[in-house]
Every structure is written in C-alpha cells, then in structure tokens.
Chains A and B, each alone.
Chain A
Amino acid sequence: MSTTAETEKTIWVHIWRGKDEGRHVSYEVPARENQTVLDLVTEVQRYHEPALAYRFACRVGVCGSCAMTVNGRPRWTCRTHVKRVVEGGEITIEPLRNMPRIKDLACDMGEFFDKWQKAGGKFKGKATRREPPMAVDPESRERKNADAGIECINCGVCYAACDVVAWNKDYLGPAALNRAWTLLNDERHADHAGLLEMATSEGGCASCHTQGNCMTHCPVGISPTRSIAGIKKMSLVDLLRGRAR
C-alpha cells in the first residue's frame, strides 16, 4: 500500500457546491500516487462532505457518467490522473457546462439525450430477427467512417466544450451529430433521407463552425468535427444533385 511519505502530501480541491446558486468550497485531501480526479471527489465525499453529489458508475471510461469541469476543462474524471491536471497543488472541480445542474457536480443530461434523438440517432432496420445479419464489407469507406465515431460513450464532454451549444440553445451538439453521421454510414439503416433531413434542419450540422473544441476534448479520441463535416458535405452534395438519399 502507499508509503507514509506519500500520504503526507496533500492537494487542495475546490469544489462547486450548490445548484445554480452556490459557491466553491475548498478541501485538503491526501495526495496519492495513482489518484484520479474521481478519487479526489470520492475522498471529499467520504471524509469531508457526506452529502456531496456527483456521478460515476463504471470507473473505467465506458459509461460516460463522471464528466466534470476540471480546472476549466471538461473531462472524464475516472480516467484523468491528478498529476496531469493539478496546478500548483490545487484543482478546481465544477459541474459540466451547458447542462442544467441538479446539485453540486451532478448535471441533468436529459436535453443532451433529447437532442441525440432530434438529430435522428435511432436505427431503423430493413431486416428482422428471423434473418441473418446483413453482409457488410469491413473495408468499405462507409464502414470505416462509422467505426471512427461509433465508440462514443455519450459523456457530454464535447457538448460542454462547444461554444455554439452555449450560444444557440437549438444546436444539437457534436455528440448527437456524430451519432447521426455513423448512422448515415450504416448501410443497414432504412431511412437515410429522413435522417439527413433531421441532421441538417434547425440546429443541425450547419450550426457547427468547426471550432474543434469537441475533438480537442473528446476523451475517447473521436472527432465530431470530422463527422459533422461529413454530414455537411453529404447535405451539400445531395442538394446539388437534387437527390434525397
């Protein structure tokens, strides 16, 4: 287990407490060798502030529940090593931007998921459970496009990072459009025309100004910027060809 020298060191953690009205409260917690930001928050909850609200589930970066604003940037906290973000022995932790707050570090992700649906993110199949899966060429350009964006954990980090989301409440946001793009590249999907219509209408891909905050911050390395660009191109090409998918 950890050595005594280690446990003597401490970190100051400044945590947002409250809902929209609130304040930062500072806590001094022991610094440990392999600590993540989530561990810091847990330490505060366990030993300082029993009623502190935050959210996590998987601890390994697949559930996308634990995202918070850490020293001003949105991050998944379960896989953010403290050493990578600590500034002068201090860390400020706040709820994600661009989402309604519930309490302390927990946000309401409802709107994020509503927009996911609004962008058309729902598969409609052509086949049923009585038929074998459709053959799909793993090397096709479409399949590779889909693969590039499909492992989104819907953590909302990109959504919090994007300024357009903050400026335009109708903007569907990077994650939702990224999902729409993977579906547009899914040859098994039955309604590409309807999907493209949804992804390009009010608040859709045209609202993205290629700011790139999303791809800079996506913890799993997805580039919604690229995916959204793909939708833009598809929408332009289709419009020029007078074609619906």
Chain B
Amino acid sequence: MRHSPRRHRNYVAFLGHRLSGIALAIFLPFHFLALGLALEGAGSFDAFLAFADIPLVKMAEWGLVVLLALHLFFGLRILVLEFMPWRSDADDRAGLIGWGAGGALALGLVFLLGVF
C-alpha cells in the first residue's frame, strides 16, 4: 500500500521545518560547547576557529546557516498560518514556502560569498 498522500507543498514545508529543527537541536549543544571554549581563553577558541576554517567544516557551517534560515522562514510561516487571519479556506499561503526556501538559499549564498 502506498503511503500517505504527501506530494504537496504544505507537506514539503512541514518536512523541511521538522528536519531543520532536528538538525539545529543536534547542532546547538556543540555550538554552545565551542563558544564555551572561550572560557579557557582566547587561545583555544582560536584553535577551534582554525579548525572551523577547514572547507569541509565551512560547508557544514554553511549548511547550518541555511538550516537555521529555513527553520526560521518555515517557522514564521507556521506562525502566520496559526495566528494571522485566513482570508479564505484555501488560504494556505503556499507562497511563503517558496519565499522561505528561496530566502534561506539566498542567505546561504551571501554567507558563502562572505566566507570565500
């Protein structure tokens, strides 16, 4: 039996939001740990930042920025749907999904431009 009928934009937005949320949740403790290294003095923090300069690590960071932006935009979309008035029954503001995804990618691009 085929699974649920998921091939539509709202579902894709849900998935994007959830997966980015999970990724952020996993990343956040490490992020805090890294910042916490500043405690041990600027030296080790710099060492960490040097590690962070490795391209692969850079790519991961890029990913996180995009994920954060994606989660932000899709999260805002949910807040709009939940707390702003609907103009009609079909008013699922699907446009926000495209804009959100596009916005996240654009931010990612700016990030890349800044880094390299």
Q: Do chains A and B make direct contact within the complex (CB under 8 angstroms)? A: yes
Interface residues of A in 150-195 (CB under 8 A from B): 161-163, 166
Q: How many residues of B contact A (CB 8 A)?
A: 21
- Report if A212-B89 is in contact (Cβ < 8 Å); known contacts: A94-B1, A97-B4, A161-B4: no
- Is residue A215 within 8 Å, beta carbon to beta carbon, of the partner chain? yes
Give min CB distance, A64 to chain B, whole Å: 18
**Which of A37-45, A103-111, A114-122, A217-225 lies at the binding interface?**
A217-225
Q: Which residues of B contact A94 (CB under 8 A)?
A: 1
Q: Is B8 an interface residue (CB 8 A)?
A: yes
A69, A71, A166, A212: the one within 8 Å of B10 (CB): A212
**Alpha-carbon separation in the docked complex, A222 to B89 (Å):** 7
Cβ of A71: which chain B residues have Cβ within 8 Å of it?
2
**Total A-B residue pairs with C-beta atoms closer than 8 Å?**
73
Closest CB of chain B to A148's CB: distance in Å? 6
Interface string of A91-108 (1 = CB under 8 A from B): 000100100000000000
Q: Does A226 contact B (CB under 8 A)?
A: yes
Beta-carbon contact of B4 and A212 below 8 Å: no
Chain B, residues 1-34, CB within 8 Å of chain A (1/0): the string is: 1111110111100100010000000000000000
Q: How far is the CB of A160 from chain B (nearest CB, A)?
A: 8
| Smallest CB separation, B100 vs chain A (Å) | 13
Query: Assuming A94-B1, A226-B89, is B82 touching A211 (CB within 8 A)?
Result: no
Q: Would you call A89 an interface residue if the criterion is a C-beta within 8 Å of the partner chain's C-beta atoms?
A: no
Q: Contact check, B89 vs A210: say whether CB atoms are below 8 A apart.
A: no
User: With an 8 A cutoff between CB atoms, is A213 at the interface?
Assistant: yes
User: A210 touching B2 by the CB < 8 A rule?
Assistant: no
- Contact flag A211-B11 (CB < 8 Å), given A97-B4, A232-B82: yes
Q: Are A216 and B81 in contact (CB under 8 A)?
A: no
Q: Which residues of B contact A213 (CB under 8 A)?
A: 4-6, 8, 10-11
Interchain CA distance A120-B18 in the complex, whole Å: 29
B83 an interface residue at 8 Å Cβ cutoff? Answer: yes
A233 B83 Cβ-Cβ under 8 A: yes
Binary contact readout A59-80 vs B (1 if CB under 8 angstroms, 0 otherwise): 0000000000101111000000
Listed in ascending order, the chain A residues whose CB lies under 8 Å from chain B are: 16, 69, 71-74, 94, 97, 148, 161-163, 166, 209-213, 215-217, 221-223, 225-226, 229, 232-233, 236
8 contacts between A and B (CB under 8 A): A72-B2, A72-B3, A163-B11, A209-B14, A212-B11, A216-B10, A221-B89, A225-B10
- B residues whose Cβ falls under 8 Å from a Cβ of A: 1-6, 8-11, 14, 18, 78, 81-83, 86, 89-92
Q: Closest 10 A-B residue pairs measured CB to CB?
A: A212-B10, A72-B2, A223-B89, A73-B5, A229-B82, A211-B14, A226-B86, A232-B82, A163-B4, A233-B83
